[in-house]
Chain A
Amino acid sequence: MDFDVNMLSNLLYAMVRTGTPLLLIALGEMVCEKSGVLNLGQEGMLLMEAVAGFIAALTSGSLIIGVLAAILVGILMSLLFGLIAINLNANQVATGLALTIFGIGLSAFVGSSYVGQPLKGFEPINMGGLTDIPVIGKMLFGQDALVYLSFLLFLGVYWFFRWSRAGLVVKAVGENPHAAEAIGLPVIKTRYLAVMFGGGMAGLAGAYLSLAYTPMWVEGMSAGKGWIGLALVVFASWQTGRVLFGAYLFGLMSILNLVVQGLGFNISANLLNILPYLATIVVLVFLSMNQQRIKMYAPASLGKPFHRSR
């Protein structure tokens, strides 16, 4: 098969689709990390919310209820994390890992009787002739509602950190919680809200996976996307614009196997599946080579519990 305009258009379309869950997770996690909290539980949250969204949508017959249920479960999971990591000051790394292991187990348990059940997921929204614009038409105007929502949320987060006072509060709490507390900013409350936002975004990402991307439930269907989303935040140096760029770059990486097969190369799918993970490592290496840079951009109190007494 030749590489033509039509294929390029499809590729860009698939890139945005695949990048969307990564974008949602990374935006949520970035807000969370900006407030100084490192939540490594994304992978487990993603699975819990994918299964919750799927079951809710299947039993209620409404995709909207599915999405809302996923967001709700996401927020509940993040509250569980917040309780242990923020209130009780437990190690954030260990708590996040626990959340992941717990989420993998609970989602597999809850979803065991729903595996492989069919569901009619989100369909692309018809935007008339706009979809026919060559190359970028399908990418920008042929997507489903959740993808457009992710565009809006991206703009929202961008605005939040660029122009809003609340964004400044989050950053202050993440940079120096003690100074923030001293000038009367509510450190614990801010961190809770940031973590809950992360949970809600992971909820959307989970709903996107099980209701739009592949409308079904399979155990472990997130296949590491939660972790890639975490790596993406580092990749983006905690800057909103770069999160968008990185999400689509990683999205592209994940569908390269389709391209390679489309071009007629005969390489094992299992080997091609390695690409996104390998790319994540390579990108992380490139970024972490310059520690000065990481130190400059990373929230100064990231991962450190906040004790009011000190």
Chain B
Amino acid sequence: MIKLQPRREPSELMVYISPILAGILTLMTGAILFAVLGYNSFTALYTFLVAPIQDSQGISELLVKASPILMCAIGLAVAYRANVWNIGAEGQLLMGALVGSAVALQFPDSESKSTLILVLISGVLAGMAWAGIAAFLKTKFNTNEILTTIMLNYIALNLLQYAVHGPLKDPDGYSFPESAPFSAGATLPTLLEDGRVHIGFALAVIAVLIIWFLVSKSFLGFQMKVMGMDERAAKFAGYPEKKLTWLVLLISGGLAGLAGVCEVTGPIGQLVPNVSPGYGYAAIIVAFLGRLHPVGILIASLLMALIYLGGELAQIKLGTPAALTLLFQGMLLFYLLACDVLIRYQLIKVPHSSTQAQGAN
């Protein structure tokens, strides 16, 4: 019989093995699932995980998809380290896209890249403002940030719908709920000649570097960590709790806003109703999967982008439902939480007789 026994110390090694284990379990469940649904498991997994990144164009698409996820996740990680549960990256992303688009549409004929800078900044500020609402309510009235950020997600989604059906709708766009395409000045330049990888990916990588410095090299990052691990200790040490709460929410909101504005000015090129296929929620999984560490998150966001790409390709090639992507994401997070148990517990083999002895004890 196998039994779970608490470890004396949390296992450092398991912290890194657990995400890999979760990935393998997800893969195995996926294979079984495909088989049950009547697909060839091998072909299906190949289509899902290998086929999308076989050529340089595939790699380029992977980076395009990874950019918004990475930006959101790296911001969320900062908040989660401080034990501030920002679930609102999705709403902050949408607000960044919405406000950025509103600004971009003011310059329909702009050729100058200064327009772009203005647009990007307004997107970041919008994301910060949206997260700032939660920060204000939490620091001023002690309102639970999980519930406020979730509600703000729904509000942002409805505002976006309102905007594309109303004030920001393209007057020449027939009856489609879309904005006019942005001018050249309000469009992100691509990084390479071929492919769609845009400056956004570079910005995301820069964000990762800055956040890495912040969390592991600065005193501010140390204060956040203490606050996340033990709120009372942070209080006794006199760390500015409210200021830190504001800071982590503004950082995560700003980065999510940047993700949103980069989506509309980059790969999409206009404001559409479905700016994000749930990047903000996927980023929560990525943050955990990457162990709230910048490098881990970089790897995890590439994996998440691959799940998105694979889901799309499998939908086209094999006719699988679009929701498969969501299902894989959910499974991954669940397996991760289950595997994380092994950080604090170990599996030990106990002979039958000794369990009975323990029971009698």
Q: Which A residues form the contact surface with B (CB < 8 A)?
A: 40, 44, 80, 84, 88-91, 93-95, 97-99, 101-106, 108-109, 112-113, 219, 223-224, 227, 230-231, 234, 268, 270-271, 273-274, 277-278, 280-281, 284-285, 288-289, 291, 294, 309
Q: Main secondary structure on chain A at its contact with chain B?
A: helix
Q: In the complex, what distance in Å separates the CA atom of A44 from the CA atom of B281? A: 13
Pair A106/B327 contact, Cβ less than 8 Å: yes
B148 at the interface (CB under 8 A from A): yes
| Structural contact, B142 and A97, CB atoms closer than 8 A | no
28 pairs from A and B in contact (CB 8 Å cutoff) = A84-B338, A88-B345, A89-B341, A93-B146, A94-B288, A95-B337, A98-B337, A99-B334, A101-B284, A104-B326, A104-B330, A105-B325, A105-B327, A105-B328, A106-B327, A106-B330, A108-B321, A227-B147, A227-B150, A268-B165, A268-B166, A270-B161, A270-B162, A271-B159, A278-B155, A281-B147, A284-B137, A289-B141
- Which 8 residue pairs spanning A and B have beta carbons closest together? A102-B330, A105-B326, A108-B323, A270-B162, A112-B321, A105-B330, A109-B323, A105-B327
Residues of chain A within 8 A of B155, CB atoms compared: 274, 277-278
The distance from the CB of A203 to the nearest CB of chain B, in whole angstroms, is 19
List chain B residues, Cβ under 8 A from A271: 158-159, 162
**B34 proximal to A (CB < 8 A):** no
Are B85's CB and A93's CB within 8 A? Answer: yes
Chain B residues whose C-beta falls within 8 Å of the C-beta of A104 in the assembled complex: 281, 326, 330
**Closest CB-CB distance, A96 to chain B, in whole Å?**
9
Q: Smallest Cβ distance from A121 to chain B, in angstroms?
A: 23
What's the Cα separation between A89 and B7 when bound, in Å? 13
* Cβ B337 vs Cβ A109 within 8 A: no
- B300-339, CB under 8 A of A: which get 1 and which 0? 0000000000000000000001111111111101101110
Do A105 and B161 contact each other (CB < 8 Å), given the known contacts A223-B154, A280-B151? no
Chain B contact residues (Cβ within 8 angstroms of A): what range?
A: 35 or more
Cβ contact within 8 Å between A98 and B333: yes
* Contact partners of A40 in chain B: CB under 8 A: 146
Whether B263 is near chain A, meaning CB under 8 Å from some CB there, is no
Given known A227-B147, A288-B142, A309-B6, contact A109–B154 (CB-CB < 8 A): no
- Chain A nearest CB from B28 CB (Å) reads 17
Residues on B with beta carbons closer than 8 Å to the beta carbon of A88:
4, 338, 341, 345
B162 touches A285 (CB 8 A): no
Q: In the complex, are the beta carbons of B334 and A98 less than 8 A apart?
A: yes
A-facing mask of B107-147, CB < 8 A → 1, else 0? 00000000000000000000000000000010001111011
For the complex, what is the distance from the CA of A280 to the CA of B152, rounded to whole Å?
A: 10
Given contacts A88-B345, A101-B281, A106-B327, contact A288 B141 (CB under 8 A): yes
> In chain B between 143 and 202, which residues have their CB closer than 8 angstroms to a CB of chain A?
143-144, 146-148, 150-152, 154-155, 158-159, 161-162, 165-166
